[in-house]
Chain A
Amino acid sequence: MPTTDHGFFVNNAWLIPFFPLLGALIAAAAGRQLRGLAHIPVVAGIGLAFLVSLGTFASAGPEVTAVASNWMTFSGLDVPIEMRVDGLSTMMMSMVTFVSCLVAIFAIGYMSGDPGYPRFFALIGLFVFSMTGLVLSNNYLLTYVFWEGVGACSYLLIGFWYARPSAAAAAMKAFLVNRVGDFGFAIAIFWLWTVMPGHDLSYGAVFEAARATDPVIIQHSAIVGISLLFFWGATAKSAQIPLYTWLPDAMEGPTPVSALIHAATMVTAGVYLIARSMPMISLAPGVQIVIAVTGCLTALLSAAIALTQFDLKRVMAYSTVSQLGYMFMALGSGVGDVAQLAVVAAMFHLFTHAFFKALLFLASGSVMHAMGDVIDMRRFGGLRNRMPVTYWTFAVGAVGLIALPPFSGFFSKDEILGAIGAVAGATHVARELHLSWSWVYNVIYLLAILTAFLTAFYTSRAFFMTFWGPEKLPSPDDPEVAGMADAHGHDAHSADAHGHGHHEIGHESPLVMTVPLMILAGCTVLIGFICLLTWPVAGGPVEWFDRHMEKTLAFETLGTAEHGFSIVTALLGTAVGVGGIWLAYVMYGKPSPLPGRVRAASGPLYQASLNKFYVDEIYGILVVGPLRAIAWLSGIFDDYVVDRLVTGIALIPRAIARARLAATQNGLIQHYAAGSAISVALLLVVIVFGIGALAVVLGVLAILLYIGSRPRSAAVTTAPRVIKADGDI
């Protein structure tokens, strides 16, 4: 790999994962000494990483930087540590380091006083290390390594308050569901490894081999299979149907973790993987339909669940699942000429979503902090006067999520809808797919609009319930309220685990928490404009974000199409957003009997949504239950069948010995001598005639013995009973 000079930052891109790792190691090693200062090395490390990421931004290009070293050097599985600094990875890295820096600063306030303070920051540092490593890696295997690494950090952070049974359960669930996804990813790598010439797993080589037509290097069926398996992996990490169920439970972790890992960064890894693999996946339009449909259904389902949840963080969690569904919808729409457009749209939404979703989560955290760890929206309300900063920043984030102009969410969601619309309207798609499947995209377009409406409604509902209406603060002593909280599995055990001292309830959070909120709110407003700044280049002005994404590896191989700003889509998107807000205002803006009436009217539908459509229960019955039953049976089977069988076989020689051979140990020296002689004879036979002869001789002897012993065979049948009586062998 030629290492040419791309400037300091690109050449030293390894510093980006290195600084957070260093910070994490310092925080872990010196945690006991640092105590309340343990955040310093981590925040500094992430901050430095952010600066380096910004530096790489300018000089990014689809080239590889230095190969640091080789990690594993097995024959055929030689894993070089290569970094790719291109448009996609610099965009992801800047976002990850920026958001995590703000979240880490927020956590200084949020986590203060927690006994696990150093551990928290060490894990955050480790997470940023893994996430930036994932994005920087230049081959699938290394990506997989960090992919599991972020999963492990997520496991340890969800289970941060280890004494809570609900946190322990959620952590395990997250890891296991992700393992199911990793299984698909791993099989994809195995398959790729088998078909790739020279077992080269680097992105560039794979895309080249996938595109090669003369001669064909990777069969089309293999491309389809591998792409599907990559998507399988992505569904777990990015919480899509059927593997999304871990994400809402992951809210058991501290709120900064939810904001950083389970909203802004780690969950986008699946989107990143698919976007990165687009040069290969776009060769399999059938797979793209699967991706688009899965994304669409996930977006709709989770939005429908979010409508009725009372846990503020869970509303946000389902909203995250829903928005990730949008990103997959976009990637799945990247068929043929629309491919570039779709990838840019998906990544743009990923980018803007990171800011406003982190903002919403941190604002929720601020509320939770002020409410003494209560997060049930029925137990508080009307907080707008008590927590003005949180109120306003939450409002900005909410409008960003609802995607009203001119907030950043509007631009990115508009691009996604535009891409889907382009596919739906394009005649070439039918040609590309070899069948008339383009109607699917029409349906997806309509469902995406519907989901946008639901998004607007549940977001505003959460907003109004929390900040509007008469002021209400949770009183922990209220038995009714406590019972309700128990049902949600929250603060029942928080006293022993979550040790920050909330002496007063209902105060605005300290500056260290509100400043990150304000910065993120600013980003939510501005980032859309920044990314759409046009750049005069040859061939007409190009939007800045587009232009940056074009520096991505193999991006030029994706199809391009002219696209204009679709006024219909923009108006439609805005209209449903306003409609959703209005409906939520009518129902929740002030105390009103409407919600109760709607609840009664929708009946079972409401119950289904409230109970998350019973997906967890269905999985419990269909997957977990049978698995545990089989496991239980295996345990029984092992104790009572396999073991008995083998010990039973072991009894046979003993039975024979009792019946037969005991007689040979009769103390008569001539018998022993005969035995020795026979043995020596056998050995001689073997040495002289070879092993085959021994078999013959032994066979003959066995037959002779059998014939000779027949009359006494009755003894054998009685023998086992005798053995059993004398107990264990």
Chain B
Amino acid sequence: MATLLVITIFLPIAGSIALAFVPRDNPQMARGLAMGVGLITLVASLALLAQFDPARKGPQFSTINARGQYGISWGGSPGENQTRPDIRVAFGLDGLSLWMFVLTSLLMITAMCSSWTSIKDRVAAHFGFLLALETGLLGLFASLDVILFYIFFEFTLIPLFFLIGIWGGPQRRRASVTFFLYTLAGSLLTLLGVIALVVIHYNFTPGKVLTFSIPELTSGLSSIEWPAWRDVGQWSNFDDILRSGPSVINWKSPQVIVFLLLLAGFAIKVPMFPVHTWLPLAHVEAPTAGSIVLAGVLLKVGTYGLLRFNLAMTPLASLALFPIIATIAVIGIIYGALAALAQTDVKRLVAYSSVSHMGFIVLGLFALNATAMEGGVIQMLNHGLTTGALFACVGVIYERYHTRSMDEMSGLWKVMPLLAFFFILASLGSAALPGLNGFVGEFPILIGSFAASPKAGVLAATGMILGAYYLLWMLRRVVFGPLRVPEVHGEDSSHASSHEHAGDDHHGAPASCPPLGWHDIAGLAPLMFLIVAIGVYPRPIIEQIQPPVNDLINNLQLQRERILADFHDKTAREAPRNTRRGGGNNMGAPPVPRGEPKKSEGGGAHPKGEAPHGRAKSEAGTKKGEGEAGNKAGAAPQPRADKKSEDGNSKKGGK
């Protein structure tokens, strides 16, 4: 199966290269070839889906090298001495990436269907870029090596840059450049974060393992012994963070810094408020196929990265920063919905709806309980399906009307009942109507977020109302109402600069409205099927995403236990001082010797004994910082701190 996975990833780009040799005057051949390659890729990814075994832990379909690691080393085995970076070509799928992989190959078919007749200029190149983009995305989701991941991460920008820049709307150049620079700027910071992770892992694992493998980094980083790595804030339990917010976070903690670096790139990709402004522009200017892939899959790269890197590798920072991330996510949900409500361009409206819905996903992922995270992961798939479908519907309308302004059209139901049905179904799915897919994702997200922070849960739930508002508003204006067909804009034919419509545009004539073509139906029908199927029977998918999510959550719990133990060390160390000052009222406080032996153990765990200077220094530094903070805190609210530590203890005892 490993071979099949690799073939599936690279087949589209092979098709893309083949398309370069298709004669320019034969667009039909280019379409056929591209669609053939796309379909084979889809079938292959479905075969992988069928072969996937949800009971098995870890990535599947991966080659294992001689030393039991995933993948094949780039340029031979590094041997025993670890001086050369061991970057590996490692592909594999687990529950988190599996459905993203399938979604990519499925939405690519929808994208190609939407380009079938609407793209008339440089057809082969268009489909070639689409296929190249597909390889980039498939490779990204299947990568098990950070460098490989990053290469694919950046690679996806190139075809999309050209797709927007060549086949886009009137402002396509500005849109493509903004999109490119925006994401590039973020991803460079992410690269820095990724390198930092590798370096930290190298420095603080016994035996100094320099690895770029995602599974190895994840497990290695969760067990490294470096107190500064765990020192993300002054807190005794999770509620503390919720109550006191950013003031308890140790912003100088390496884990927090790495978290923020990683976040920079992924937040732009998601996009999270306030770095979302590239999205409406890119969507409006992109050709339909570009919008479908952009909203359907590319935004998920952001949340996927958050899952793979931020939540898996910097779990404590994720815990500590939850209030901040949740605030941003909730702002994104409400603000995105409000902005969507203000739009008159259907495509812009759907673009802003993505800002809102991606806020839900981020909130779910960071609520840090299994229910919300599973909801978030399944919502990544759901949002891809519904938004992909909405963009495809808008594309169909645009192809016929050459406008997307809701002021100029209404009563679509009359002329295109099937499209109206698709449009309504996708909108209701997006509005999280139970029985359709959106609900299956959003409800667990909300319920889990409410459990983590009632305020966030309630505020996010208002997004449910606003979401229904803008979607139904759109339906009311576009689908319902008396039939109104926009007039074709004669002078305004700049939109058609890449289409060949300029010739037959008669200014003032009502646009013709041919019925849906087979390719429109073929592109939308599978999405509609999945929107209903996932809504009615989500169990198989849930069962596939559950094991990796549980791994993540377990790791988070473990890290939390450890930081609580750290906190008790600290309080134990401060206890004598307090007794002197406070008059012995906390003599009863448990001495908590837990962390002490662990620490010496940790010191001994470095076999070479050469604790690096930098590390020793930083450790001393943090200790000093802790002491200071302790003094500060010790002055007034001492009894509270005691109570907290007792709470923590009793909790642990309960477990």
Contacts and interface: CB of A to CB of B under 8 A. Distances in A.
A631 B275 contact: no
Identify whether the interface residues of A are mostly helix, strand, loop, or mixed. helix
Contacts of B177: 728-729
Interface string B536-555: 01110011001001100000
B461 A172 contact: no
Contacts of B276: 642
Contacts of A650: 181-182, 185
A535 to B, nearest CB: 40
Contacts of A405: none
B542 A179 contact: no
Interface string B605-624: 00000001111011000000
B15 to A, nearest CB: 34
Contacts of B450: 187, 190-191, 193-194
Interface in B150-197: 173-174, 177-178, 181-182, 185, 195-196
A149 interface: yes
A647 B479 CA distance: 36
A186 interface: yes
Contacts of B615: 689-690, 692
A638 interface: yes
B379 to A, nearest CB: 11
A278 B610 CA distance: 70
A75 B446 contact: no
Interface string B248-262: 000000100110000
Nearest to B420: A162
Contacts of A631: 338-339, 341-342
A74 B542 contact: yes
Contacts of B433: 148-149, 152
B369 interface: yes
A496 B181 contact: no
A176 interface: yes
B434 A148 contact: yes
A643 interface: yes
B483 interface: yes
B481 A162 contact: yes
Given A690-B615, A692-B254, A646 B274 contact: yes
A689 B434 contact: no
Contacts of B292: none
A690 B612 contact: yes
Contacts of A155: 472
Interface residues of B, number: 84
Contacts of A187: 450, 457-458, 461
Contacts of B482: 163-165, 493, 496
A172 B476 CA distance: 7
Interface string A144-183: 1110110010011001001111011101100110011011
B507 interface: no
Interface residues of A, number: 69
B375 A74 contact: yes
Given A77-B371, A172-B472, A193-B447, A163 B338 contact: no
A165 B342 contact: no
B593 to A, nearest CB: 29
B444 A691 contact: no
Nearest to A645: B274
Contact of B472 (A175, A493, A691): A175
B203 interface: yes
A307 B373 CA distance: 54
Contacts of A179: 464-465, 468-469
A692 B469 CA distance: 49
A672 interface: no
Interface string B577-609: 000000000000000000000000000000000
A625 interface: no
A168 B464 CA distance: 20
A199 to B, nearest CB: 8
A426 interface: no
Contact of A180 (B447, B465, B479): B465
B479 A162 contact: yes
A508 to B, nearest CB: 33
A189 interface: yes
A197 interface: no
A74 B276 CA distance: 30
Interface string A56-84: 00000000000000111111110000000
Interface string A607-622: 0000000000000000
Nearest to B479: A162
A657 interface: no
A76 B542 CA distance: 12
Interface string B270-298: 00011111001000000000000000000
A73 B413 CA distance: 37
B242 to A, nearest CB: 14
B546 A693 contact: no
Contacts of A167: 480
A538 interface: no
A729 B178 contact: yes
Contacts of A493: 482
Contact of B476 (A72, A169, A628, A643): A169
B428 A152 contact: yes
B440 interface: yes
B446 A190 contact: yes
B196, B203, B277, B457: most-surrounded residue (chain A CB, <10 A): B277
Contacts of A145: 434-435, 439
Contacts of B196: 686, 691
A149, A183, A691, A729: most-surrounded residue (chain B CB, <10 A): A691
B149 interface: no
Given A73-B543, A638-B277, A690 B371 contact: no
Contacts of B617: 692
Contacts of A632: 342
Contact of A163 (B173, B280, B371, B481): B481
A629 B543 CA distance: 44
A212 interface: no
Interface string B348-383: 000000000000000000000111001100000000
A487 interface: no
Interface string A184-204: 001101110110000000000
B14 interface: no
Contacts of B444: 72, 74, 77
B182, B342, B538, B613: most-surrounded residue (chain A CB, <10 A): B342
A155, A190, A645: most-surrounded residue (chain B CB, <10 A): A190
Given A165-B481, A638-B339, A690-B614, A75 B277 contact: no
17 contacts: A71-B539, A72-B444, A77-B444, A152-B428, A163-B411, A163-B413, A165-B480, A167-B480, A168-B481, A182-B464, A183-B465, A187-B458, A631-B341, A634-B335, A647-B178, A688-B612, A728-B177
Interface of B: 173-174, 177-178, 181-182, 185, 195-196, 199-200, 202-203, 228, 254, 257-258, 273-277, 280, 335, 338-339, 341-343, 369-371, 374-375, 411, 413-414, 420, 424, 428, 433-435, 439-440, 443-444, 446-448, 450-451, 454, 457-458, 461-462, 464-465, 468-469, 472-473, 475-476, 479-483, 537-539, 542-543, 546, 549-550, 612-615, 617-618
Given A183-B464, A627-B341, A687-B199, 16 more contacts: A71-B538, A77-B447, A145-B439, A163-B413, A164-B482, A175-B468, A630-B338, A636-B342, A643-B277, A647-B178, A650-B182, A690-B203, A691-B257, A692-B228, A693-B614, A728-B177
What 7 A-B pairs are tightest by C-beta distance, nearest first? Answer: A635-B342, A168-B480, A689-B614, A75-B370, A631-B341, A190-B450, A145-B434
Interface of A: 70-77, 141, 144-146, 148-149, 152, 155-156, 159, 162-165, 167-169, 171-172, 175-176, 179-180, 182-183, 186-187, 189-191, 193-194, 493, 496, 627-628, 630-636, 638, 642-643, 645-647, 650, 686-693, 695, 728-729
